[in-house]
């Protein structure tokens, strides 16, 4: 009998396992893969991560970025760079492996290469089943990612409330390119989403993601058109494509606490719906989930509801604002692009949201008031954006 079983060892699972093990609890953490393993991801972690990690990740940072070159449908490039870092680029195989090592070092029992097939709950305990074994614990933290069995089967979260994506890791010569220190973000090339090129040491992580329903099965076409038209990728061979979903937060999703089981990270749709940023939220929600489980274990209680209350208080208001921002930007990408092209200060201010210095709510309010106070300016940009060549 373990105190807790953690299903999945991505950033959420390894963080939860480490947090509980370091407090002396008996933790079993299971992943279907063996580490290091590939994870389809842009791998850009916002600098606000530094506030919640209590160890250095500098060994796995491959580039630090202070802004981006933006394009609209691969054209009209504009550099919006700030004087301070906004994010750190990592390769997920190395980053996630580091976090798994940290969990193990803290005393978590780590089992790799075992797929969890199901979970069940009895009075006073929970059981996790694989093909060959079963494991019992007082609590389960589901952290099995975007197609997570725990989130879907046990909580009924809707897999269609997600973005679909295609990514590729493209080898490049860093010394002879202008990729250092910035991202490349493309608006307008995919319905309700964006395309990106995130530079690492030896690879460019190239991808595109858009709302699953709006993309309607055409994500490969959008990806092909992105890589064929973007000047930064000219002459590069893009091979080995991977499809994945980004399970963004959605209004009206089911609670992520049920009996003795709770969810952290992607399996609970705990991903910012504007950027699709999930690594920071995986780590942050996992820490809070672990705090709640630790408190329940220490007081011999089965009450995990404080975690849901924490999400409602600390995380969901931001996600709701990010959802409103998504509606504004992705429903009108051309207009949005014309606005930031002429007024880069808007993006510079948004960088502070990414850094965690300003809330998305106050940023959205500021943008909204800007638009409302000078509607003729927006109208002019709307007209320009409609009649300017793409």
Ligand X SMILES: Cc1cc2nc3c(=O)[nH]c(=O)nc-3n(C[C@H](O)[C@H](O)[C@H](O)COP(=O)(O)OP(=O)(O)OC[C@H]3O[C@@H](n4cnc5c(N)ncnc54)[C@H](O)[C@@H]3O)c2cc1C
Which of 67, 151, 193, 276 touches ligand X by CB under 6 A?
A: 276
Smallest separation, CB 239 to ligand X (Å) = 17
Smallest separation, CB 43 to ligand X (Å) = 5
- Asked whether position 33 contacts ligand X by CB under 6 A, the answer is yes
Please list every residue from 292 through 331 that binds ligand X, using CB under 6 A.
none
Q: Do the Cβ atoms of 241 and 158 come closer than 8 Å?
A: no
User: Which of 125, 130 has the CB closer to ligand X?
Assistant: 130
Q: What is the DSSP string of 356-383?
A: TSS-HHHHHHHHHHHHHH-HHHHHHHHH
Smallest separation, CB 216 to ligand X (Å) = 18
Token look-up 């499809």 returns 243
- Asked whether position 18 contacts ligand X by CB under 6 A, the answer is no
Q: Do the Cβ atoms of 132 and 23 come closer than 8 Å?
A: no
User: Which of 21, 335 has the CB closer to ligand X?
Assistant: 21
- List the structure tokens of 346: 């808007």
Distance CA 60, CA 92 (A): 9
Smallest separation, CB 248 to ligand X (Å) = 9
Q: What is the largest CA-CA distance in the chain?
A: 67
- DSSP state letter for 221: H
Which of 207, 210, 323, 333 touches ligand X by CB under 6 A?
A: 207
Distance CA 128, CA 150 (A): 10
User: Which of 220, 332 has the CB closer to ligand X?
Assistant: 220
CA dist 306 to 66, 69, 123, 182, 262, Å? 36, 41, 20, 39, 11
Please list every residue from 156 through 185 that binds ligand X, using CB under 6 A.
165, 167
2-7 and 27-31 beta bridge pairing: parallel
Please list every residue from 118 through 157 that binds ligand X, using CB under 6 A.
143-146, 148-149
Query: Which residue from 96, 118, 114 is spatially nearest to 43, judged by alpha carbons?
Result: 96
Which of 10, 151, 191, 333 touches ligand X by CB under 6 A?
A: 10
Q: Do the Cβ atoms of 6 and 13 come closer than 8 Å?
A: yes
Smallest separation, CB 76 to ligand X (Å) = 23
Q: Do the Cβ atoms of 243 and 219 come closer than 8 Å?
A: yes
Query: Which residue from 152, 107, 149, 102 is spatially nearest to 128, judged by alpha carbons?
Result: 149
User: Which of 40, 321 has the CB closer to ligand X?
Assistant: 40
Give the binding range for ligand X (CB under 6 A) out of 2-10, 77-85, 254-262, 319-327: 2-10
Contact residues for 75 (Cβ-Cβ < 8 A; gap 6+): 229, 390
User: Which of 116, 215 has the CB closer to ligand X?
Assistant: 116
Instruction: Please compute, for residue 111, the number of CA atoms within 13 A of its CA located in the half-sphere on the CB side.
Output: 16
Query: Which residue from 312, 320, 183 is spatially nearest to 251, judged by alpha carbons?
Result: 320
- Asked whether position 266 contacts ligand X by CB under 6 A, the answer is yes
Which of 51, 84, 115, 342 touches ligand X by CB under 6 A?
A: 115
Which of 2, 39, 88, 200 touches ligand X by CB under 6 A?
A: 39
Number of residues that bind ligand X (CB under 6 A): 41
Distance CA 215, CA 195 (A): 13
Residue span 75-114 as binding mask against ligand X, x where in contact by CB under 6 A, dash where not = ----------------------------------------
Residue span 44-73 as binding mask against ligand X, x where in contact by CB under 6 A, dash where not = xx----------------------------
- Residue 331 is inside which H or E element, if any? helix 316-331
Query: Which residue from 48, 57, 137 is spatially nearest to 102, judged by alpha carbons?
Result: 57
Give the binding range for ligand X (CB under 6 A) out of 26-34, 212-220, 222-230, 341-349: 26-34
Which of 31, 62, 318, 341 touches ligand X by CB under 6 A?
A: 31
Q: Please, where are the H alpha helices in 134-186?
A: 149
Which of 108, 282, 340, 367 touches ligand X by CB under 6 A?
A: 282
Closest residue to ligand X, based on beta-carbon distance: 278
Q: Which residues bind ligand X (CB under 6 A)?
A: 7-13, 30-33, 39-45, 115-116, 143-146, 148-149, 165, 167, 207, 209, 244, 246, 265-266, 271, 276-280, 282
């Amino acid at each position: 009998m373990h105190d807790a079983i953690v299903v999945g060892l991505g950033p959420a699972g390894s963080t939860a396992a480490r947090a509980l093990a370091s407090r002396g609890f008996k933790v079993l953490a299971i992943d279907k893969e063996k580490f290091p393993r590939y994870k389809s991801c842009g791998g850009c972690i916002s600098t606000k991560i530094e506030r919640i990690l209590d160890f250095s990740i500098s060994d796995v940072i491959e580039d630090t970025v202070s802004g981006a070159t933006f394009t609209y449908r691969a054209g009209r490039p504009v550099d919006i760079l700030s004087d301070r870092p906004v994010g750190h680029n990592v390769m997920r195989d190395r980053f996630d492996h580091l976090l798994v090592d940290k969990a193990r070092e803290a005393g978590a029992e780590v089992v790799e290469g075992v797929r969890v097939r199901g979970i069940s709950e009895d009075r006073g305990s929970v059981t996790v089943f694989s093909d060959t074994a079963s494991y019992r614990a007082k609590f389960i933290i589901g952290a099995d990612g975007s197609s997570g069995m725990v989130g879907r089967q046990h909580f009924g979260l809707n897999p269609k409330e997600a973005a679909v994506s295609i990514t590729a890791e493209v080898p490049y010569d860093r010394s002879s390119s202008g990729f250092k220190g910035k991202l490349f973000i493309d608006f307008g090339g995919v319905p309700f989403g964006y395309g990106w090129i995130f530079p690492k040491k030896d690879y460019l992580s190239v991808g595109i993601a858009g709302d699953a329903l709006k993309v309607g099965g055409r994500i490969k076409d959008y990806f092909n058109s992105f890589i064929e038209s973007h000047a930064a990728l000219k002459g590069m061979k893009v091979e080995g494509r991977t499809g994945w979903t980004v399970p963004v937060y959605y209004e009206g999703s089911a609670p992520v606490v049920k009996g003795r089981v709770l969810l952290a990270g992607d399996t609970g749709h705990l991903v910012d719906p504007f950027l699709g940023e999930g690594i920071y939220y995986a780590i942050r929600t996992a820490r809070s989930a672990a705090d709640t489980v630790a408190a329940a274990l220490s007081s011999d209680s089965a009450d995990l509801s404080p975690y849901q209350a924490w999400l409602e208080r600390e995380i969901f208001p931001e996600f709701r604002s990010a959802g409103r921002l998504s509606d504004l930007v992705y429903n009108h990408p051309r207009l949005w692009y014309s606005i930031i092209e002429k007024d880069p200060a808007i993006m510079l201010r948004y960088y502070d949201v990414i850094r965690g210095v300003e809330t998305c709510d106050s940023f959205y309010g500021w943008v909204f008031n800007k638009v409302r106070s000078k509607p003729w300016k927006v109208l002019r940009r709307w007209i320009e954006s409609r009649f300017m060549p793409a």
